[in-house]
Amino acid sequence: MVDPNQILTERNAEVERIKGYVDLTPEARDRRIAEATERANREYTEAREAEKQEREARLKNSERAVFNVVDDATASPAERA
């Protein structure tokens, strides 16, 4: 799994590299920065969503283990209660 904070760190480094390109026009530099930021934001959102899903799965597994929760479509109403 990708660390969301690492994505932001890499984006910041890439933006700094792009700012250092003296042969680019300001418009080209801004466009590249916008592209890098957009890509990083998309990756960050995906990584955060993956973390959330993993956290929810761990919680569900923990609840099952601790409380012996039956979360099965075939479980009877008594088992679910």
In tens, the pLDDT along 47-69 reads 999 999 999 999 988 877 877 76
Radius of gyration for the alpha carbons in the chain, expressed in angstroms and rounded: 22
Cβ atoms 36, 15 nearer than 8 A: yes
- CB atoms near residue 50 (< 10 Å): 13
* pLDDT value of position 28: 96
Q: Measuring CA to CA, how many Å separate 3 from each of 28, 34, 39, 50, 60?
A: 29, 21, 15, 10, 22
Domain ranges of the chain: 4-80
pTM: 0.71
> What tens digit of pLDDT does each residue of 2-39 get?
899 999 999 999 999 999 999 999 999 999 999 999 99
